[in-house]
Amino acid sequence: MRPLDPLSSIKVKLGVVIVAAVGVTLLVNEVGLRMNVKAGFRALVAGALGLAMVQLLARGMTSPLREMSMAATAMARGDYTRRVTASSRDEVGELARAFNAMASQLSEVDRLRRDLVANASHELRTPITALRAGLENVVDGVAPPDPAALRTMLAQVERLGRLVGQLLDLSRLESEAVPLQRRVFDVQPLLEEAASLSRLHTPGVHVDVRVESPSPRIHGDPERVHQVVANLVENAVRYSPPGSTVELRANNTSHNGVTIEVDDEGPGIPAEDSQRVFERFYRADSARSSLDGGSGLGLAIARWIVDLHGGVIRPEQRQPRGCRMVVVLPRGNP
C-alpha cells in the first residue's frame, strides 16, 4: 500500500506525513478533552496513533529503498534478476527506475562476459587441439615431420595468434586504451592496399575498387580505418563464391561525411541478424564452422573503431543477392 505514490516530491510527502501526524494528535487530544480523559493518557494515545500514521504513510516511501538494499545484496552474490517496484513519482521512484536500468545493464554485461569466456575457450581449444594432435603424431613417429605437416601446424599457430590479437584489440578498444592518431588522409590508397592484400590471399575472388574523383579524404586514424576496411573485405571475400566480384567503393556524402561500401555476392545477412552480426563471436550463418567463418570478432572490432570515430556502420541487403556493408566516417578538409 503506497497512498503517497501520486505525489511527485519527497519533500511534499514528508510534509503530508508531518501534517497527518499532527492532525491525528490534535484530534485525539480534542476527543480526550470532551471525554474528560486524563492528560497523560491522552498524550499516550495521541503519540501511539501519530506513530502508527507515520509508519503507514512512510512505509510506501521507504519500501523501494529496502527493496534496493535486498536487490543489491542479491546482485553482490551474482543474481542480476532482482528488480525494484518503481511506481512512485518522486526522487525515490526515479532512483528505483535508475536502479532497475542499472540492474538490466549489469545482467546484459554478465551475459556477454559468460558468452565471451565460453566462445573464447571454444575458439582457442579448436586450434590447440589440432596443433596438439599434429605434434603428438610427429613425436610418436606416427607422422613424419614433413613440410605439409609443419605447414598445417604453422597455420594453427597463426590462427591462434590472430585470435589472441583480435581479443587484445577488442579489449583495448572497449576500455578506450587505444588513442586515435587522427589526421586527414586520402581514401583511395587505403582501399587499394586492402584490395591488394585480399587478392594476394584469395586469388579466386576479384576485388574491384571504385573511388569518386577527386579521392575523398577522411579525418581519422588511417591505421584503424584500414583495419575496418580490411575486416570488411576479408568477410566479403570469405562469403563470396569463387569467380565472383567484391566491389569496394568510396564517395563523399552530402552530410560532411565519407561513405565506404563493400559489396559481395554471398548469401547476405538476414534482417533479423543485421545488428547481432556486430556482437562478439556471433555468426549469421550458424552452419559454418569457425574454420570457414572466421573468429566472429572482425565486425565487433570494426564497429568499435567506427564508433570511436563518431561514424556509422550498418549492413544492407544487396539485390538480387549478397550483402552491402556501409561505413560513414567524418570527412577531412579538402
Residue written as grid cell 511506481? 87
Three-class DSSP category at 24: helix
**Tens of pLDDT along the chain (334 residues)?**
565 556 556 666 666 667 777 777 777 767 777 777 677 777 787 777 777 766 666 666 667 777 888 888 888 888 888 888 766 666 777 788 888 888 888 888 787 777 767 767 766 777 788 788 888 888 888 778 788 778 878 877 877 887 787 777 777 766 666 678 899 999 999 999 888 888 777 778 888 999 988 889 999 999 889 989 988 998 888 888 888 889 999 998 877 889 999 999 888 887 777 777 887 766 555 434 444 445 567 788 888 889 889 999 999 888 878 899 999 999 876 5
Name the class of domain 109-174: mainly alpha
Task: List beta partners, residue 184.
Answer: 219
Cell, residue 53: 500514521
- The domain 183-330 is classified under which CATH number: 3.50.90.10, 3.40.50.300, 3.30.565.10, 3.40.640.10? 3.30.565.10
Q: Provide DSSP, 163-203.
A: HHHHHHHHHHHHTT-S----EEEEHHHHHHHHHHHHHHH-T
Say if residues 1 and 60 touch (Cβ distance below 8 Å).
yes
Domain limits, the chain: 10-103, 109-174, 183-330
Task: Give, in order, the Cα–Cα distances in Å from 325 to each of 36, 212, 230.
Answer: 88, 18, 12
Say if residues 33 and 42 touch (Cβ distance below 8 Å).
yes
Give phi and psi for 331, each to the nearest 5: -80, 145
Give phi and psi for 110, each to the nearest 5: -65, -40
Quick one: how far is CA 259 from the chain centroid? 24
- pLDDT attached to residue 286: 45
- pLDDT attached to residue 18: 72
- pLDDT attached to residue 281: 67
Could you say which DSSP state residue 268 is in? -
- pLDDT attached to residue 61: 67
- pLDDT attached to residue 144: 81
Closest CA to 106 of 68, 75, 66: 75
Neighbouring C-alpha atoms within 13 Å toward the C-beta of 198 = 31
Cell, residue 130: 589440432
